[in-house]
Amino acid sequence: MNPQSQRLSEMFSARLSDTAHDEVAGIVLGPRLCSLCVALGAPVRDWWQISRWATRLGDPRVRDALGAYLDVLVADRCRVPGDDLISELIAHDVDGDGLGAEEIRTVLVDFVRACSQPV
């Protein structure tokens, strides 16, 4: 595994392994989707919509809608970094090679897809 892929894998694992979330949301959405939303730093009011997108990513329109939503989160974190995966991806740098906006969007959509898959 190349250094960039290894570091991204470590970031995702660290963010999903120890996330606290609302008990009701955990029951309704399930612990994996709640952990995903917490890792993304998404506002709680958006969790239900994210879970709906996550289960319908085979539809290109849904993928585009999720991507557009994630673009807004990325833009917000560029302005005001937080303690979340998106801020880490923006700051991510391996050998002077950071991720561009399109790469971050692709990584995040793939991350949402992976989290929504049955174990």
Q: Which of 17-21, 36-40, 113-117 has maximum average pLDDT?
A: 36-40
Q: Could you give the CA distance from residue 76 to residue 48 in angstroms, rounded to a whole number? A: 20
Return d(Cα 2, Cα 36) in angstroms, integer. 24
CA distance 77 to 73: 6
Q: What is the pLDDT of residue 27?
A: 54
Q: Give me the helix-helix angle, 31-40 and 47-54, nearest 10°.
A: 110
Q: What structural domains and CATH numbers belong to the chain?
A: 3-116 (1.10.630.10)
pTM of the full structure:
0.79
Please classify residue 96 by burial: count the beta carbons closer than 10 Å to its beta carbon, then call 0-12 exposed, 13-18 middle and 19+ buried. exposed
Task: Examine the pLDDT at 107 and tell me if it is beyond 80.
Answer: yes
**Mean pLDDT of all residues in 85-100:** 82
- Least trusted range by pLDDT, from 11-20, 26-35, 97-106: 11-20
